């Protein structure tokens, strides 16, 4: 208990509820841990969108500077002097250095000199997550994701301590705090592992009932809008901001052949996120791991969509998806209406054989459903079965109880009575149950209903 109290005292809290943020954008592309294929001006635009996505935060200004990330001051001496003067004159309450993650010493030095919180991409994304966390699962994930920040800052030995000769005497207390943080991380991992185990069990039960399709993609690519249209859920309202969706949600959809499936709307991905931030959210993305089919939504109106696709691919690799699931992923290019309406678009054209869709105009949504239907039927081994039976028969009742998909049912042309000629879609499990129940029993039900299965 004493270690936990010490750990809480040393915990650097996430930034406060409101901030006026000055963004510092690197001009050099080949920075350690930084993107090298997206122009700095578009990196800056995404940084602005990230800050504005947090309630109560606003951008007070932007500065583009050369950076030297491997030094303890991040910048060269000349750039640092110029930047320090601009920061002190600004009205910003925090500075966002748009790199993946600053070291503990870098963050300490800059914060101490500028007397303002200095944030990196890791801490700003964590704040965006924290701003929307409502479930116990997401709150535990954020606490675990914050551990690396707390470890880095706890391990810093301040120059004041060295000058005063207190570095050695403070080492014992610092080590105790680090041990307490490690113990807390283990507790959080255990709690999340328990939640993940329960979600896995639920996912298996759900998958036995209906196929699942995980909708993945870069943040703000239009995943929620697409799920809303496919599931015909007007109550599912998308938001035009980063990380509008933080929790996975399930929505029932019926494909053209009548086959039901579950669409899983997942959290959006973002570039420049260290593994230590992706790993805690594995539990939230568990639905992607357990899905029968992946649907990758790409915003083709974004000039940097090829880089966004690489980010999604890298993140899926970190999650450890099966090769079969990765290779069978269906990719659609959303917001094509913006691309087609613009004559001077900077966005590269999607591949020739790609599927272009628009949630705004509804273009190719039916074709998307057909392709999803084809992938699920072939990938999960569904079989088409033709038979005749009466609505009053035991077979018909059994089909309803098992939730067998009925593609068509018309009055039988021969045989008379109230028999129906039915075309069914059965999963391998349903087909095995059907054969075990009705075929061995002397064809009793089959002869009664003139059942002919193919």
317 annotated binding-site participant: no
Q: Is 194 annotated as a binding residue?
A: no
Find out whether 33 is annotated in a ligand binding site.
no
Distances (CA, A) of 153 to 17, 104, 147, 273: 21, 5, 10, 19
Is 219 annotated as ligand-binding? yes
- Residue 420: strand, helix, or coil: strand
Please give the Cα distance from 54 to 42 (Å, whole number).
Answer: 19
Please tell me whether 389 is known to bind a ligand: no
The annotation status of 4 as a binding-site residue, yes or no, is: no
Both tokens assigned to 374 = 């084809």
Question: 223: annotated binding-site residue?
Answer: yes
- CB neighbours of 191 closer than 8 A, spacing ≥ 6? 140
Considering only CA atoms, which of 156, 155, 154, 142 is closest in space to residue 185?
A: 142
Is 221 marked within a binding site?
yes
Q: Give exposure, 366-394, as e/b (b: 16+ Cβ within 10 Å).
A: eebbeebbebbbeeeebeebebbbbeebe
DSSP code per residue over 21-34: EEEEEE--S--TTS
* Angle (CA) 301 267 24, round 5°: 65
359 is in an annotated binding site: no
Residue 337 is assigned to a ligand binding site = yes
C-alpha–C-alpha distance, residues 86 and 214, integer Å: 46
Report d(CA 122, CA 102) in Å as an integer.
9
Q: How far apart (Å, rounded) are the C-alpha atoms in residues 140 and 126?
A: 12
For residue 181, what are the contacts with CB-CB under 8 A and spacing of at least 6?
Answer: 7, 147, 150, 151, 154
- Quote the tokens at residue 75: 């910048």
Q: Confirm or deny that 195 is annotated as ligand binding.
A: no
Residue recorded with tokens 């007070």: 60
Q: Which two tokens stand for residue 249?
A: 């949600």
- Across 152-177, b (16+ Cβ under 10 Å) vs e yields bbbebbeeebeeeeeeeeeeeebeeb
Q: Answer yes or no: is 220 a known binding residue.
A: yes
Is 335 labeled as ligand-binding? yes
Give me the helices (H) in 133-164, please: 136-154, 159-163
Evaluate whether 301 touches 338 at the Cβ level (below 8 Å): yes
Residue 364 annotated as lining a ligand binding site? no
Question: Which of 447, 423, 429 is CA-nearest to residue 439?
Answer: 447
Q: Is 202 annotated as a binding residue?
A: no
Annotated binding site for Mg(2+): 224, 245
Residues annotated within a binding site? 217-224, 245, 265-268, 334-337
Detail the residues annotated as belonging to a binding site for GTP. 217-224, 265-268, 334-337
């Amino acid at each position: 208990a004493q270690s936990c109290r010490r750990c809480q005292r040393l915990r650097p809290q996430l930034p406060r509820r409101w901030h006026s943020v000055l963004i510092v954008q690197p001009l050099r592309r080949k920075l350690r841990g930084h993107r090298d294929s997206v122009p700095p001006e578009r990196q800056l635009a995404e940084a602005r969108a990230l800050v504005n996505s947090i309630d109560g935060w606003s951008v007070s200004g932007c500065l583009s500077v050369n950076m030297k990330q491997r030094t303890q001051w991040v910048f060269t001496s000349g750039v640092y002097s110029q930047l320090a003067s601009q920061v002190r004159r600004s009205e910003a309450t925090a500075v966002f250095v748009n790199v993946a993650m600053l070291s503990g010493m870098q963050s300490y030095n800059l914060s101490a000199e500028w007397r303002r919180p200095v944030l990196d991409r890791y801490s700003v994304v964590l704040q965006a997550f924290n701003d929307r966390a409502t479930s116990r699962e997401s709150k535990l994930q954020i606490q675990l994701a914050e551990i690396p920040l707390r470890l880095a800052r706890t391990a810093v030995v301040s120059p004041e301590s060295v000058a005063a000769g207190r570095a050695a005497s403070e080492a014992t207390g610092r080590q105790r705090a680090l041990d307490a943080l490690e113990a807390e991380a283990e507790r959080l991992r255990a709690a999340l592992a328990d939640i993940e185990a329960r979600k896995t069990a639920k996912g298996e039960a759900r998958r036995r009932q209906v196929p699942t399709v995980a909708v993945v993609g870069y943040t703000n690519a239009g995943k929620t809008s697409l799920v809303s249209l496919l599931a015909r859920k007007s109550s599912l309202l998308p938001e035009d901001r980063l990380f509008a969706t933080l929790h996975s949600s399930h929505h029932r959809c019926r494909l053209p052949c009548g086959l039901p499936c579950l669409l899983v709307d997942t959290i959006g991905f973002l570039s420049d996120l260290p593994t230590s931030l992706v790993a805690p959210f594995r539990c939230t993305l568990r639905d992607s791991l357990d899905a029968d089919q992946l649907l990758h939504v790409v915003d083709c109106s974004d000039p940097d969509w090829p880089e966004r696709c690489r980010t999604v691919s890298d993140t899926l690799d970190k999650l450890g998806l099966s090769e079969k699931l990765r290779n069978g992923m269906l990719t659609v290019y959303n917001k094509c209406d913006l691309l087609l309406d613009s004559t001077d678009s900077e966005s590269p054209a999607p591949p020739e054989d790609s599927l272009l869709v628009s949630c705004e105009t509804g273009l190719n949504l039916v074709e998307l459903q057909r392709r999803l239907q084809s992938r699920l039927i072939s990938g999960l081994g569904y079989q088409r079965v033709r038979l005749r039976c009466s609505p009053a028969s035991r077979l018909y009742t059994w089909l309803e109880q098992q939730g067998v998909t009925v593609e068509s049912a018309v009055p039988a042309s021969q045989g008379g009575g109230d028999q129906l000629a039915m075309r069914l879609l059965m999963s391998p499990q349903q087909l095995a149950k059907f054969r075990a129940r009705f075929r061995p029993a002397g064809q009793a039900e089959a002869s009664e209903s003139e059942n002919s299965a193919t």
